[in-house]
């Protein structure tokens, strides 16, 4: 969507958009590089201090741009160094952003929507309801704030769209943000440093392959449709066969072979039996992938418990015996509710009905319901 004149979001535009804007004003498009560097690489938002930009360009920018940053409502640091920020957006919705430090890297977990409509039964975000899609500016703001203001001493090396929301339901904004993350003049991240994680919107996976060069993670969580639909109602619309076929297309597409990351949260006595481990291995045998096993992070009234460690270990061993690369992800930030599936935020006005801004990811039929049966 094009912003109205005078309201160009400073953090939300790509180098190409700035080039076009400059050309329209009879200015040299070459200044787009300097502008992107000033904003994203150097963290400079004051036009007065952008010395690499000529005065007449700065004057035009002053008239036409705005830069409302989210405000920090709360900041928490976990025992393991994981940091979580609650950020209030201009409209009042509160989202969460999590920075996970590890040896030689720091991963920022970004939100793409305020809330989520997909109603995965093990996920705390789903309990908040759905507010709206975030704009490109709001998505990029999360990285910009952490990189340049909140934690500059720990440069973010990777971003993952695993915070609040389903990124492929907001694909245009997510793809535009990903282009900025990958732009060598902005954040200069490689395709393995930007990961989009989906609950399984099949048309969105196919479109993502065409519009962005990023890594793909898929939340699978069950090897059979009956159980997966119970856990993730979206499975009623896009069952496992269709989802894995889309993963194969994604892995084959582009200039290089890509490995898909399969996420599997281990829920006690629900999806963690040896039979299900073997069934999962069977499903994944011909897919270039790596399985991340995730110990469940409980939250009040979730109704689920984490699988005991010996059960988790046995599940992983079976996958490895069957030739599947599998690791168990170490829980991070669970003491501040910053771990996977624990993000809550606060939606000012939850919306009912058809909340999708990007309707192209859903091709037909009604939305799945929380009961697990597509209506």
**Residues within the interface to ligand SF4 (CB under 6 A):** 116, 118-120, 123, 125-126, 164-166, 199, 341
b/e burial code for range 336-365 (CB count within 10 A of at least 16 → b): bbbbbbbbbbbbeeeeeeebbbbeebbeee
Q: Determine contact, residues 164/116, Cβ cutoff 8 Å.
A: yes
241: part of which helix (H) or strand (E)? helix 240-252
- In the complex with ligand SF4, which residue's Cβ is closer, 119 or 170? 119
- In the complex with ligand SF4, which residue's Cβ is closer, 65 or 195? 195
The least distance separating ligand SF4 from the CB of residue 103, rounded to whole angstroms, comes to 27
**First-to-final CA distance of the chain:** 31
DSSP collapsed to 3 states, 286-303: CCCEEEEEEECCCCCCCC
- In the complex with ligand SF4, which residue's Cβ is closer, 40 or 221? 221
The least distance separating ligand SF4 from the CB of residue 133, rounded to whole angstroms, comes to 13
The least distance separating ligand SF4 from the CB of residue 228, rounded to whole angstroms, comes to 12
The least distance separating ligand SF4 from the CB of residue 120, rounded to whole angstroms, comes to 3
Q: Which residue has the tokens 């409980």?
A: 298
- In the complex with ligand SF4, which residue's Cβ is closer, 36 or 159? 159
Q: Determine contact, residues 200/236, Cβ cutoff 8 Å.
A: no
Instruction: Indicate if 74 belongs to the active site.
Output: no
Options 19, 96, 138, 166, the catalytic residue: 96
Options 116, 120, 123, 340, the catalytic residue: 340
Instruction: Indicate if 340 belongs to the active site.
Output: yes
- Gap between the Cα atoms of 280 and 221, Å rounded: 9
The tokens describing 167, both together, are 């990124």
The least distance separating ligand SF4 from the CB of residue 125, rounded to whole angstroms, comes to 4
Tell me, what DSSP letter sits at residue 4? Answer: P
Cα 306 to Cα 82, 108, 152, 273, 298: the distances in Å are 20, 24, 35, 13, 7
- In the complex with ligand SF4, which residue's Cβ is closer, 61 or 344? 344
Active site amino acids: 96, 340
């Amino acid at each position: 969507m094009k912003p109205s004149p005078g309201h160009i979001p400073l953090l939300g535009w790509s180098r190409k958009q700035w080039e076009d804007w400059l050309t329209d004003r009879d200015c040299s498009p070459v200044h787009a590089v300097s502008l992107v560097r000033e904003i994203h690489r150097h963290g400079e938002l004051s036009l007065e201090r952008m010395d690499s930009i000529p005065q007449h360009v700065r004057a035009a920018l002053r008239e036409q741009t705005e830069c409302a940053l989210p405000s920090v409502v709360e900041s928490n640091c976990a025992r393991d160094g994981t940091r979580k920020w609650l950020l209030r957006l201009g409209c009042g919705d509160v989202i969460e952003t999590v920075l996970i430090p590890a040896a030689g890297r720091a991963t920022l977990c970004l939100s793409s929507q305020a809330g989520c409509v997909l109603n995965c039964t093990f996920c705390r975000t789903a309990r908040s309801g759905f507010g709206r899609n975030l704009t490109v500016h709001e998505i990029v703001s999360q990285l910009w704030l952490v990189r340049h203001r909140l934690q500059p001493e720990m440069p973010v090396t990777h971003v993952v769209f695993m915070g609040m929301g389903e990124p492929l339901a907001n694909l245009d904004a997510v793809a535009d943000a990903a282009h900025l993350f990958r732009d060598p003049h902005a954040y200069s991240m490689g395709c393995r440093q930007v990961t989009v994680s989906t609950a399984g919107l099949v048309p969105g996976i196919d479109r993502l392959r065409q519009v962005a060069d990023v890594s793909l993670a898929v939340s699978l969580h069950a090897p059979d449709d009956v159980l997966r639909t119970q856990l993730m109602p979206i499975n009623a619309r896009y069952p496992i066969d269709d989802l894995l076929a889309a993963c194969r297309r994604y892995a084959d597409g582009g200039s290089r072979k890509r490995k898909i990351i399969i996420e599997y949260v281990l829920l006690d006595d629900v999806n963690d039996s040896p039979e299900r481990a073997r069934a999962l291995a069977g499903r994944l045998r011909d897919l270039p992938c790596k399985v991340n096993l995730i110990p469940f992070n409980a939250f009040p009234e979730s109704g689920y418990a984490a699988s005991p460690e010996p059960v988790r270990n046995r599940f992983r061993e079976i996958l490895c015996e069957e030739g599947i690369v599998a690791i168990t992800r170490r829980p991070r930030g669970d003491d501040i509710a910053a771990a996977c599936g624990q993000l809550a935020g606060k939606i000012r006005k939850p919306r009912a009905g058809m909340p999708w801004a990007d309707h192209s990811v859903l091709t037909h039929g009604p939305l799945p319901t929380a009961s697990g049966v597509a209506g």
